[in-house]
Structure 1
């Protein structure tokens, strides 16, 4: 702390004093699974009340239209919650983007609903780490910076979306728009329990491949049928061969068929790709189309490919490396050892990096067992990470 100037020292103290634990407990008690639209509405109202105490214009942005493939193989609209957007001093000389998400992976009927104090330093509950604790950290840091003499030089957008856990399909365009022109971005996914941050990230692509054949009696006239499941299985095997050093392929599910005496006329294949380089996306997308068209012709079926590579890989380029060094230096001056490592997971940081903006996307609390009934947050990381964010932001403003 002796390396901090008075402005920095005051901001770190102010961030640490913010009532983050109380807010985290309140917010985690609200079920806001991505598909629980009433719960998301309640959560958004709570967040708007708190983030509305910051200056600027706060709006709830309607989600973009998103479709999914229904059980009949046809696309249907999929409803999403609104997204919170706060715009502060858009004409300021230094502008940043801060993102988080209000949704969790726990649906309204999930058995994991209670927030509990596991011990003196661990809070358990749905979303305490991923990422309602992180939202409290962000709010505390921004209030601390707003109280500093540097605030007038600082403009920013806060986006808290409602669909990050399912790929941000209804908010991806909004993320890209808000990222434009920013010097840096911070996202509040949880750090690992020891404080390690996520560095480079792979990307992801999710696809539903719909195969339509022709039904027939399996005993009387099978030759007149066109078996959609057999064609889908062929596609599965060939897609699996697209795996390489820079991309993994996971055919996850095939649905279709019916009675044993009927040639199935519909099958749907769910497949996930994890590219580690843009070249893998550029190669795999066209290859998937070629496979689909060829097998459609060979089996006399129709094949439709739905989906996209919705999150590109996030490498550590020069801008990202410089931002990580700013965070690391701020941590060192707070007595924290900040490291980072590559991960196969994805988040909105992938989308921000794709817009050309340096981003550190695990600025939230330290915690673990996310996406499980054992999810927990380390309580002492609230003050620690709020101070780290406040100091990082001040140094970005000062360096610009």
Structure 2
């Protein structure tokens, strides 16, 4: 660490001394699945207490109105938890954005609820890596920066949303507002176990395709019916087979059907797209419209499409590359190897990049097996990544922009 100034050495010492492990364990002990509103409220209060030690204005932000298609084909409101928003020194010359999420993929009735230390020292628990550990790292870095002589030159916003795992539909507008005027952003999704960070990302789109046919007696007059379930299945196969790998089509679920002696008149196909580039988004849209029209005509059913491409692909850019270089240089100064690799996953980094703000979105803990009961956090990565984030932030402040 000979390439660190004395100020930087003091900075990273403060970052490493933060009680990140204790915070991660406490926050992970509370279920905060996206649909568990009481659990999200409890975690939000704990996070508000913790982040409330930072200067600025901290508050809860109500979720934007979101709808979903229910299993009966009707559109209904979908409730979400409140988001946390902190704004510090909005008039400072350098403005940055830091984001994370408090929700997990594990609902309140999921069997994976407790945190434990594995024999090899890793921590296994719901959200320990994705991303309660990342939130602890973010706070540690910001606390260290606030005690730096450079803090007066830095203004920033922190957004911790409650719906990232399901697409950030109720927080996208908040993130977009927070992006305004920012020179760079850091998001604290987990890095891979070996420390690799995400580079370019594909996009995503989620759709519910409501198929309405005509019911009839399955034995007496089936020819008078129009089988919505068969049409939905045909649509799923056409979407999957004709798309090609760049569109990343995944028909995930069909709701519908009924008694065996009734031709079903309703089915809902849930499908996810993972377009690799912005051009692929347009190709995916065209493919979806074409398949819907063909199936509707051939099966004589009505198909209504609900959904959107809610996260644009995040290709590499000169600004993003410059920010990645700054993170890598900070890592080199800490004797931490930092590499980047493209990924098909999506996160709020996609939203931020779409607003024109350069972002590195895997500044969180090293870990793995996320979205499963084997999710784990490598605890020694907590101080390591807090130091990396803090050093990156102050060097951006000194330079003014990536």
TM-score range, shorter chain: over 0.9
- Within 5 A, what are the aligned runs for 1:230-241? 230-241=230-241
Q: Secondary structure at the match of 2:274?
A: strand
- More displaced 10-residue stretch of structure 1: 251-260 or 176-185: 251-260
1:253-284: CA deviations, max 9, x gaps? 22222122211100111111111011111122
Q: What does residue 157 of structure 1 align with?
A: 157
Superposed displacement of residue 295, structure 1: 2.8
Taking the TM superposition and a 5 Å limit, the aligned residue runs for 1:12-31 are 12-31=12-31
CA-CA distance at 1:120 after TM superposition: 6.4
The residue number in structure 1 matching 2:47 is 47
Give 1:206's aligned residue. 206
Conserved? CA contact 2:368–2:376, under 8 Å:
yes
Residue 33 of structure 1: CA displacement?
0.8
TM-score, length of structure 1 as denominator length: 0.97
CA deviation after TM superposition for structure 1 residue 299, in Å: 2.7
Alignment-derived partner of residue 305 in structure 1:
305
Decide which moves more: 342-351 or 280-289: 280-289
Task: Report the counterpart of residue 295 of structure 2 in structure 1.
Answer: 295
- Does 1:334 find its partner at 2:334? yes
Q: Find out whether 1:70 has 2:70 as its counterpart.
A: yes
Q: Which runs of 5+ in 1 are unaligned?
A: none
| Aligned counterparts of 1:299 and 1:130: Cα–Cα separation in 2 | 43
Residues 159-178 of structure 1: matches in 2 within 5 Å? 159-178=159-178
Task: Note the aligned Cα RMSD (angstroms).
Answer: 1.3
Counterpart CA distance in 2 for 1:101 and 1:19 is: 19
Is the 8 Å Cα contact of residues 275 and 284 (structure 2) preserved in structure 1?
A: no
Name the SS for the 1:247 alignment partner: coil
Query: 1:324 maps to what in 2?
Result: 324
Q: How far apart, in 1, do the equivalents of 2:273 and 2:206 lie?
A: 7
1:240-259 equivalence runs, <5 A: 240-259=240-259
Report the alpha carbon displacement of residue 245 of structure 1 after superposing the two structures with TM: 4.7
Distance in 2 between residues matched to 1:20 and 1:236, nearest whole Å: 45
Q: 1:89 to 1:293 in 2, by over 3 A?
A: same
Query: Superposed, which structure 2 residues align to 1:6-17 within 5 Å?
Result: 6-17=6-17
Task: Check whether the contact 1:215–1:227 (CA below 8 A) recurs between aligned residues.
Answer: yes
TM-superposed CA distance for 1:161, in Å, is 0.4
Please state if 1:81 is matched with 2:81: yes
Structure-1 residue corresponding to 2:372:
372
SS at match of 1:55: coil
The 2-side partners of 1:389 and 1:119 are apart by 29
For residues 4-29 of structure 1, give each alpha carbon's deviation from its aligned partner in whole angstroms, at most 9, with x where no partner exists.
11221111011011111111111111
* TM-score normalised by the chain length of structure 2: 0.97
C-alpha contact 2:273 2:284 (8 A) present in aligned 1: no
